[in-house]
Chain A
Amino acid sequence: MFDSWIFLSIIFATVAFQVVIVEFLGTFASTVPLNWQFWVLSVLIGAVSIPIAAILKCIPVERDNSKQHHDGYEALPSGPELA
Chain B
Amino acid sequence: MQFQLTVNVVALVINFFSACITGLLVNGVYFDLDILFLLFHATSVIVFLLSGSAPLTAVQLLWVNLIMDTLGALALATEPPNDGLLKRPPVAKGANFITKPMWRNIIGQSIYQLIILAILNFDGKRLLGISGSDATEVLKTLIFNTFVFCQVLSARIMSELLVILYRLQNGKFRTWMLKQKFIIPVKRSGMINCFAFI
Residues of A within 8 A of B (CB): 1, 3-7, 10-11, 14-15, 17-18, 21-22, 28-32, 34, 38-39, 41-43, 45-50, 52-57, 59, 61-64, 69, 73-83
Contact = CB atoms under 8 A, between A and B. Distances in A.
Contact of A6 (B77, B140, B162): B77
Contacts, number: 177
A46 B163 contact: no
Contacts of A29: 57, 59-60, 63
26 contacts: A1-B160, A4-B188, A6-B189, A6-B190, A7-B74, A7-B159, A17-B63, A18-B63, A22-B145, A31-B60, A32-B137, A38-B145, A42-B146, A46-B148, A52-B112, A53-B158, A56-B104, A62-B100, A63-B100, A63-B101, A77-B84, A79-B32, A81-B102, A82-B161, A83-B102, A83-B165
Interface size class of B (residues with CB under 8 A): 35 or more
Task: Indicate the member of A29, A69, A76, A83 with the most B CB atoms within 10 Å.
Answer: A83
A18 B148 contact: yes
A32 to B, nearest CB: 5
B108 interface: yes
B16 interface: no
Interface string B145-177: 110111111101111111111100100000000
A11 B151 CA distance: 11
A79 B162 contact: yes
Given A53-B154, A83-B105, 10 more contacts: A1-B163, A1-B164, A7-B78, A18-B63, A22-B144, A41-B142, A46-B149, A56-B109, A63-B100, A82-B162
B70 A80 contact: no
B189 A46 contact: no
Given A30-B140, A48-B112, A56-B104, A74 B150 contact: no
Contacts of A52: 108-109, 112, 154
B89 A80 contact: no
A69 B154 contact: no
B166 A69 contact: no
Contacts of B153: 46-47, 49-50
A80 B35 contact: yes
B137 A4 contact: no
A14 B137 CA distance: 22
A73 B104 contact: no
B165 A3 contact: no
Nearest to B141: A31
